[in-house]
């Protein structure tokens, strides 16, 4: 039985990945902040004698608005923490899958491929990109198998209420109105289950460095997201837009997922509506 280490195992994606690996019969070691600070190299020492076969590195700070307020904390956790995990993998000769983020900033054209220009548009994305560069260096310099997955906008069961999709769902089911800051921005949303399948496809990858976009290949505006959620929820509540644009806002994002399809044999199975139908069970819908 293979033993897997999942850093950030108590997070939104980490919890789901840990559960999926266990369901597949893997022995999973989950690491989170209770085990110590990922930016402290000693935190990983306790796992060195556990015969880990693969590391999924998800630990990090993720909420973009917070990154503008405290970019140094994001650098410490997301960059130094990733280097510590890479060192752990280097010393123990363990392949690693790194879960990165959208790092392209304002795209020159759509869809966005892995070789598109990279221009991080917020401190969070900057730290993820710098961590990617560390991954690429370790893969090349130390002959370490590292695969980087760049998820676009992930949504699914268990996501924090701070994020757009759970916030809209909560308002659709529980409030008299749906209030958002801006109806215009379009994003490529990928359902959590599809991301998990992509992560599993990185197991057993050959040596070297690889990077893959994971998205749906389509984009939806905030208004379209609200409309789909309301249709599934059975509501027709008034939408209030504050008309507040976020700092350095991106107006449209679409992933080119052809590389993941060709090399990993991966393709998303869930449409946005199907994902929302799983999140809002029939018993919770307004009839």
List alpha helices for the chain, DSSP H.
12-23, 64-69, 71-75, 81-92, 123-141, 164-174, 192-200, 222-233, 258-264, 272-279
Is 248 a member of any domain? no
Contacts 24+ apart (CB under 8 A), 267-271: 268/190, 268/191, 268/194, 268/215, 268/216, 268/217, 269/193, 269/194, 269/197, 270/191, 270/193, 270/194, 271/216
Is 150 a member of any domain? yes
pLDDT in tens, the chain (287 residues): 689 999 999 999 999 999 999 999 999 999 999 999 999 999 999 999 999 999 999 999 998 889 999 999 999 999 999 999 999 999 999 999 999 999 999 999 999 999 999 999 999 999 999 999 999 999 999 999 999 999 999 999 999 998 999 999 999 999 999 999 999 999 999 999 999 999 999 999 878 999 999 999 999 999 999 999 999 999 999 999 988 777 778 999 999 999 999 999 999 999 999 999 999 988 788 86
Is 167 a member of any domain? no
DSSP reduced 3-state for 178? strand
The verdict on whether omega for the bond into residue 135 sits within 30 degrees of 0, i.e. cis, is: no
How many folded domains does the chain comprise? 1
Q: Does pTM top 0.75 for this prediction?
A: yes
Of 164, 175, 176, which is closest to residue 228 (Cα–Cα)? Answer: 164
Q: What is the pLDDT of residue 1?
A: 61
Q: What is the pLDDT of residue 133?
A: 98
* Cα first-last separation, the chain: 47
Is 231 a member of any domain? no
Is 111 a member of any domain? yes
Q: In 10 A of CB 101, how many CB atoms? A: 24
Distance CA 154, CA 192 (A): 6
HSE of 13, CA atoms in CB hemisphere, 13 A: 29
Is 283 a member of any domain? no
- The dihedrals phi and psi of 75, each to the nearest 5 degrees, come to -65, -45
Is 124 a member of any domain? yes
Structure tokens at 167: 């916030």
Q: Which domain holds residue 123?
A: 3-159+190-215+254-269
Distance CA 214, CA 150 (A): 6
Q: What is the pLDDT of residue 287?
A: 66
* CATH code at position 131: 3.40.50.720
Structure tokens at 227: 């409309």
Is 236 a member of any domain? no
């Amino acid at each position: 039985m293979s033993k897997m280490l999942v850093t950030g195992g108590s997070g939104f994606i980490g919890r789901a990945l840990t559960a999926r690996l266990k369901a597949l019969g893997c022995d999973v070691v989950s690491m989170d902040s209770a085990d110590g600070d990922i930016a402290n190299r000693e935190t990983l020492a306790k796992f060195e004698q556990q015969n880990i076969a693969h590391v999924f590195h998800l630990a990090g700070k993720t909420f973009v608005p917070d990154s503008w307020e405290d970019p140094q904390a994001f650098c410490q956790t997301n960059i130094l923490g990733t280097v510590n995990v890479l060192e752990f993998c280097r010393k123990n000769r363990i392949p690693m899958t790194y879960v990165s983020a959208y790092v392209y900033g304002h795209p020159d054209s759509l869809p966005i491929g892995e070789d598109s220009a990279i221009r991080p548009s917020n401190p969070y994305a900057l730290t993820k990109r710098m961590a990617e560069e560390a991954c690429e260096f370790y893969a090349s310099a130390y002959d370490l198998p590292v695969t980087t997955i760049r998820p676009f906008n992930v949504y699914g069961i268990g996501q924090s209420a701070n994020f757009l999709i759970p916030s809209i769902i909560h308002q659709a089911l529980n409030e008299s109105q749906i209030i958002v800051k801006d109806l215009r921005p379009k994003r490529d949303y990928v359902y959590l289950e599809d991301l998990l399948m992509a992560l599993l496809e990185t197991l057993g990858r050959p040596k070297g460095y690889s990077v893959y976009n994971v998205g749906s290949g389509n984009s939806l505006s905030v208004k379209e997201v609200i409309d789909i959620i309301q249709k599934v929820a059975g509501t027709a509540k008034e939408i209030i837009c504050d008309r507040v644009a976020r700092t350095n806002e991106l107006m449209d994002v679409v992933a080119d997922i052809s590389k993941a399809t060709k090399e990993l044999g991966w393709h998303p199975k869930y449409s946005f509506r199907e994902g929302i139908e799983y999140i809002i069970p029939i018993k919770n819908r307004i009839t």
